[in-house]
Amino acid sequence: MTAREDARPPPPGASAGRRQGHRVRHGLLRALTLAFFAAVAAFGVRYALTVDWPGVGRAITAMPPSVLLQAAALAAASHALYSCFDLLGRHYTRHRLPVRQVMAVNFISYAFNLNMGSLVGGVAFRLRLYARLGLAPAVITRVMTLSMLTNWLGYFVLGGAVFLAAPLPLPAGWTLGTPGLQALGGGMLALAAGWLWLCLRARRREFSVRGHEVVLPPARMAALQVVMSCANWALMGALVAVLLQGRLPYATVLAVLLVAAVAGVITHVPAGLGVLEAVFVTLLAHRVPATQLLGALLVYRALYYLVPWGLATGLYLWMESRARPPGPGGRQGGRRQPERLRSPRFACWPRPPHTHP
């Protein structure tokens, strides 16, 4: 068979069949997501009707000031660390925005991401603010993608280690069980290790995935992503553990928080409202009174979600008030715009079409 014969186009109905299969899979995934969300919502409503809310209030007011101060410090440390994720993108794309501006944009987008969802916070606010500061869309996309990859790479490493080495004691009657949770942890670690191995050892650094060119980052960059993200997830777990005042081992609290994070992503609920509480109560109510759990989680929401959201709103309005449209000659507010694209030869995201390093 000649090369021309081998490269003949697919039958006329093949592409239509693939599109139909994609629509069916998308519909099934959407139906399963909605069913899961409905189940979580039903559980939350049913449980909320039985909660001793006065008891929850007493649990909150009984927290010592020293506990609240420690929790506030951990929340601040986590947000400060996450605000450095975009600095990796700054180094990677070699754009010239000042460090303080990059951290401010990262802080604003993360706070809105937590409270309003990734499309609003993680994407829309970054696009808006970075564009106002003079970055090109291709650079913004690379910075966003690197930040998201950093977050979930550390999640796989830390979550896999916790599920494998210190599996969560599940309530009686759960079908998953400890072996299943350990298998899940091993799979997460294997995926993360495979990515790191590729970054370290792969001779071929460029791949094509569905028409997009993907270039592996250096191993040192990938390792730094893992360290920063693992530290951030660990700080979040420490924050909840401090608010629970030693009633549960730290590893258990961290494991439940990691499970709740994925549940919040699956349900697409802004701020994971109700999902976080439902997961903690379902997995830990047999070990800690529900009033203590809910009291700690409500304070966690206030310190980690609401207070930073308020600060981010004020910072965003201040940045918008100081922003001015580009002036003549490609200048932003009378100043020369930062360099738009000086990308190195490596990247861990798809390159936009017609963009060269």
3-state DSSP helix/strand/coil % of the chain, to nearest 5: 70, 5, 25
Report the amino acid identity of residue 16. A
DSSP-assigned letter for residue 332: E
In order along its 357 residues, the chain shows pLDDT tens digits of 444 444 455 555 555 666 666 677 666 766 665 665 565 556 556 656 666 668 788 888 889 999 999 999 999 999 999 999 999 999 888 899 999 999 999 999 999 998 887 787 778 899 999 999 999 998 998 898 889 889 989 999 998 998 888 777 665 555 556 777 788 888 999 999 998 998 888 877 777 666 555 667 788 889 999 999 999 999 999 999 999 998 899 999 999 999 888 776 665 555 555 678 888 888 888 888 888 999 999 999 999 999 999 999 999 999 988 866 554 444 444 444 444 444 444 444 444 333 333
CB 233 within 8 A of CB 258: yes
Q: Is 273 left (phi over 0), alpha (psi -120 to 50) or beta?
A: beta
The DSSP bridge partners found for residue 335 are 332
The per-residue pLDDT for 340 is 43
CB 275 within 8 A of CB 263: yes
Those residues with Cβ within 8 angstroms of residue 173's Cβ, 6 or more apart along the chain or in another chain: none
Tokens standing for 349?
């995201």
Picking from 206, 168, 198, 196, the residue whose alpha carbon sits closest to that of residue 184 is 168
Tokens 């909660």: give the residue. 51
Give first-to-last CA distance, the chain, whole Å.
Answer: 39
Tokens standing for 115?
């409270």
Give 12-16 contacts, CB < 8 A, sequence gap 24+.
Answer: none
Where do the domains of the chain lie?
68-321
CB 162 within 8 A of CB 251: yes
CA distance linking residue 139 with residue 127, whole number of Å: 10
State the maximum Cα–Cα separation within the chain, in Å, rounded to a whole number.
80
Tokens 């697919």: give the residue. 10
Tokens 């270039």: give the residue. 215
CA distance linking residue 197 with residue 31, whole number of Å: 36
CA distance linking residue 108 with residue 301, whole number of Å: 17
CA distance linking residue 240 with residue 261, whole number of Å: 13
Report the amino acid identity of residue 21. G
Task: Record the pTM.
Answer: 0.75
The per-residue pLDDT for 308 is 96
Strands laid side by side in the 335-336 sheet: 326-327, 331-332, 335-336
